[in-house]
Each structure stands twice: as C-alpha cells, then as structure tokens.
C-alpha cells in the first residue's frame, strides 16, 4: 500500500528556511536578541561579583600614595609586594589567622557531629513535638545577630568565656548548628527508608545503619553545610569584635580592621587589601577542591526516580 504525502507550499518554504528540519529550529530576531540580552546580563553579574575582588588585588599591589590619588588607575603603575610583606611580618595578624582557622574548623566539626545526630533523629524518628522542634530550630537562624548579642554577652561573662577561643566557638555554633540540622534533616528525609530497614533486618542497630548506610549518602550535604559554616565563621565580624579584647582570641577579621599605618593619620588601605586577599584565598581553594561535592549537595533530591 502506497501513501501519498502532501505538503503545502508554505510548509516547503518553512522546511527550506530551517534547513529541512521540521522542529522549528529557525532563529528569529527576537530569539537572537533574547540570547544576546542573556549573555549581557551574565556579563554584568560576573562584573558585579568579581570586580570587588579584582580591585582588592590591584589595590594590594599599589602604594598608599597611588591608592589615594585623585585619578585611580585600573592597574598599579609601579607594582609592589610591600603590603604583603607587611602583612606576613605582623605577628598579631598571623596569630589572628591561626585563631580564625582553629575557631572555624572547630565550628565545622562540632556542627557536623551534633548536627548530623540531631538531623537524623528529626528525620527518621517519630516522637511528639518533632515538627515543632524543627521549626524552632529554623527560627533560631532568623534572629539578627545584634538582637541576641546582649544575652550572649551576659552568658559569656557569667561562664568566664569572654575573650576566649572556645567562647567564640560556642557563640558561632548558635547560628551554624541550627542551619546544619535543618539542611541535613532534609537530606535524611529524602533518602529511601528501605536502605535503613534492610540494615535493621540484617541485625544492625540504628547507629550502625546511620554510620555505614546513611552517612556515605549524606556526604555531599555534609560537605556543603560544613563549607558554608566554615565561611560564616571565618568571615564573622560582629561577635568577634564584641566578645574579644586581647590578642589571644582575636580573629583575622578584627586584625584587618586594627591595622595601623606608619603615622597617626594614615589609613593603610594597601595593607588591609593585601590582608583581605590573604584571608580570601583559603575560601577560594576550599570551594575549588570540593566544588563537585557542593554541586551534588545542592542538587540532591531535586530529581526523584
């Protein structure tokens, strides 16, 4: 049996215009304009986000006289590394850098340990008030830092935690731990319950099932939340300025703001910019090392099946 396919002249013209493809792949001027506009928008966003970091690098390579000149240049006329030498020779800054590393790492470890156990209980166990406690934990992340700073100051003075490293760790956990619990609880809730039930049938306890079955699957979420907690603790300024007064517990953000120039009225812009670049580099390296885990953690649970 033969079939005759009839094609109208308009259809033939459309097929010739699209190169024989019937999928409507012809690009209209409006589609081209939309694509160009999208590229321009992406360029503007990249310029807006990357220019401050670029300007910090450029300023760190300039002298103070060149930074404060009326007509600033986009690149140093006489590049110098003197600002970086000043930063690394400053014993106070180096100690503050070590304090920030200790505090941020401790916050990540403690928030992941306690946050994982709490998130597992919230996601897998059934008990009265579970939903209420979940929303209570979420509400803790909504309070602005300045609103609870008075209460935290009173608590730290009462327990002799003022101007100590471990005191800042406890304070930073007040915002890192609720966020960790909320995010990881959603990860555990999205995991198939059959995996855990199979382990329980084989004789494993819930802790064994958590450690050997669920935790390996939750690694992307743990990496994502741990990195965000590290960035938040590393970059925090308000609590560090309020709850520290001496060099023994000062963080790197406070050390940058306390840099002084060679004279009483000089503001060391170049030195501060160099210190800001030094402080930002560990964050960039950390993100680059675990970027695949971060993408997996952000997209986990987005597609089912």
Q: What was the pLDDT predicted at 114? A: 93
Q: How far apart are CA 4 and CA 234, in angstroms?
A: 73
With a cut of 70, say whether residue 264 has pLDDT above it.
no
Q: What is the mean pLDDT of residues 116-129?
A: 84
Cα 227 off chain centre by: 6
Question: What is the structure's pLDDT at 20?
Answer: 47
CA 285 from chain center: how many Å? Answer: 12
Sort 90 into a burial class: Cβ within 10 Å, 0-12 / 13-18 / 19+. middle
pLDDT digits (tens, 9 = 90+) for 217-235: 888 888 888 888 998 999 9
Query: Which residue bears the tokens 């156990």?
Result: 117
What per-residue confidence (pLDDT) applies to 105?
94
pLDDT given at position 228: 87
Which of 5-14, 133-142, 207-216, 285-294 bottoms out in mean pLDDT, i.e. has the lowest?
5-14
- Which pLDDT score is estimated for 233? 92
Enumerate domains of the chain plus CATH numbers. 91-258 (1.10.3720.10)
pLDDT computed for residue 13 by the predictor = 59
Alpha-carbon distance of 164 to 239, in angstroms, equals 12
Give the containing element (helix H, strand E) for 232: helix 219-235
Average pLDDT, whole number, for the chain?
82
Q: Report how far residue 62's alpha carbon sits from residue 84's, in angstroms, rounded to the nearest whole number.
A: 11
> Is the pLDDT reported for residue 301 higher than 60?
no
Q: In this predicted model, what pLDDT tens digit does every residue of 72-87 receive, in sequence order?
A: 888 888 888 988 998 8
When pLDDT is cut at 50, 70 and 90, the band that residue 263 belongs to is low
Assess whether pLDDT exceeds 80 at residue 293.
no
Over range 276-300, report the average pLDDT: 74
Burial bucket for residue 78 (CB in 10 Å: 0-12, 13-18, 19+): exposed
pLDDT value for 17: 53
The residue-averaged pLDDT of 237-251 equals 90
Average pLDDT over residues 242-270: 81
Write the pLDDT tens digit of every residue in 181-208: 888 888 888 888 887 788 788 777 778 8
Distance CA(148)–CA(128), nearest Å, equals 29
Q: How confident is the model at residue 3, as a pLDDT? A: 46
**pLDDT for res 285:** 82
Beta strand ranges found along the chain (DSSP E): none
Per the CB < 8 A criterion, the answer to whether 103 and 172 are in contact is: yes
* pLDDT (0 to 100) of residue 24: 46
For residue range 3-51, what is the model confidence (pLDDT) as tens digits?
455 555 655 555 555 544 444 456 788 888 888 888 999 999 999 988 9
Return the number of other C-beta atoms located less than 10 Å from residue 16's C-beta: 9
- Say how many CA atoms lie within 13 Å of 120 toward its Cβ: 18
Residue 1, number of CB atoms within 10 A of its CB: 2
Distance (Å, whole) CA 110 – CA 170: 10
Contacts of 253 (CB under 8 A, 6+ apart): 100, 235, 236, 237, 240, 279
pLDDT at 107: 94
d(CA 7, CA 5) in angstroms, rounded, equals 6
Other CB atoms within a 10 A radius of the CB of residue 210 amount to: 20
| Cα(137)–Cα(273) distance, integer angstroms | 37
């Amino acid at each position: 049996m033969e079939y005759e396919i009839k094609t109208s002249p308009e259809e033939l013209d459309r097929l010739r215009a699209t190169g024989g493809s019937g999928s409507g792949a012809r690009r209209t001027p409006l589609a081209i304009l939309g694509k160009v506009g999208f590229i321009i928008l992406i360029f503007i966003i990249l310029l807006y986000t990357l220019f401050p970091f670029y300007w910090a690098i450029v300023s760190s390579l300039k002298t103070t006289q060149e930074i404060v000149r009326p007509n600033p240049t986009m690149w140093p006329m006489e590049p110098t590394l003197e600002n970086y030498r000043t930063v690394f020779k400053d014993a106070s800054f180096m100690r503050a850098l070590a304090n920030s590393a200790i505090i941020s790492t401790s916050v990540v470890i403690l928030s992941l340990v306690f946050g994982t156990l709490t998130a597992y209980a919230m996601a897998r166990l059934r008990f009265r008030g579970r939903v209420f406690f979940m929303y209570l934990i979420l509400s803790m992340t909504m309070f602005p830092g300045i609103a609870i700073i008075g209460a935290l100051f009173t608590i730290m003075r009462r327990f002799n935690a003022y101007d100590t490293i471990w005191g800042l760790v406890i304070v930073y956990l007040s915002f890192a731990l609720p966020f960790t619990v909320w995010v990881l609880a959603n990860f555990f809730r999205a995991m198939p319950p059959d995996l855990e039930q199979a382990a329980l049938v084989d004789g494993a306890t819930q802790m064994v099932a958590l450690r050997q079955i669920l935790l390996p699957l939750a690694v992307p979420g743990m990496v994502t939340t741990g990195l965000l907690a590290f960035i938040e603790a590393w970059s925090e300024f308000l609590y560090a300025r309020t709850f520290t007064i001496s060099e023994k517990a000062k963080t790197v953000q406070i050390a940058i703001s306390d840099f002084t120039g060679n004279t009483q009225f000089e503001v060391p812009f170049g030195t501060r910019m160099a210190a800001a670049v030094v402080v930002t580099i560990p964050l960039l390296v950390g993100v680059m090392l675990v970027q695949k885990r971060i993408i997996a953690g952000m997209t986990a649970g987005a597609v089912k099946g």
